Amino acid sequence: MINQSIMDEIKSSINSINYGSVEVYIQNGQITQISTRIIKKTNALIKPTKKVSGVVIRKGSGSGINLNFKY
């Protein structure tokens, strides 16, 4: 059963954003983390100054992913 305090935190996270997502992480049957991702929408049109000819994707030395753009 989820206690009221955790439910209040989840509701607060949901109510704090207009666009985005709320992720609830569970470990060993217990909620360990609540993450809020806020998306900022824009109407601005941006024209690239250089044409992108390709993207190289490879796993980095850590746990992330490196994106290299070739112009």
| Structural domain for 9, as ranges | 4-39+47-70
Overall domain count for the chain: 1
| Model confidence pLDDT, tens digit, residues 44-66 | 776 666 665 666 556 556 556 66
Q: Is 10 exposed, middle or buried (0-12, 13-18, 19+ CB in 10 A)?
A: middle
**7-34, pLDDT tens digit by residue?**
999 999 999 998 899 999 999 989 999 9
Whole-prediction pTM value?
0.55
Reported confidence tier of residue 43, pLDDT bands at 50, 70, 90: confident
Q: How far apart are the first and last CA of the chain?
A: 53
What integer pLDDT is reported at residue 66 of this predicted model?
61
Token digits of residue 5? 């305090």
69 pLDDT exceeds 70?
A: no
